[in-house]
Amino acid sequence: MRNSRLPLTETVYYLLLVFKKPTYGYLAIKEIEELSEGDVRIAAGTMYGAIENLLKSEMIVQVSSENERRKMYQTTAYGNEVLEEEVARLSHCVRVWEKLNR
């Protein structure tokens, strides 16, 4: 049975991906823009709303930071599980596409 959180939005997908290692919001914005080759740009307001939602859904957690002005976040085991399920779902979609377009 598919996880009720799927499919992920692009924003949530990239956030779970970049928060696999402890990261703060502004750096995450820059990393997402780089990873997506400029296709995904997240505004600060969108970022912090998404972080709040991911915290509430327990897909990320705030972790300690050496710089008290920066809040650091990291993907939880549950968040990683959801991310892996999304990657499997997308991979299946690609396989179906390739099969039907040979």
DSSP state of 53: H
pLDDT digits (tens, 9 = 90+) for 10-51: 999 999 999 999 999 999 999 999 999 999 999 999 999 999
pLDDT digits (tens, 9 = 90+) for 40-94: 999 999 999 999 999 999 999 999 988 888 999 999 999 999 999 999 999 999 9
CA distances from 6 to 31, 40, 42 (A): 23, 19, 20
Q: Which CATH number fits domain 10-101: 1.10.275.10, 1.20.140.10, 3.30.1490.20, 1.10.10.10?
A: 1.10.10.10
CB of 61 within 8 A of CB of 74? yes
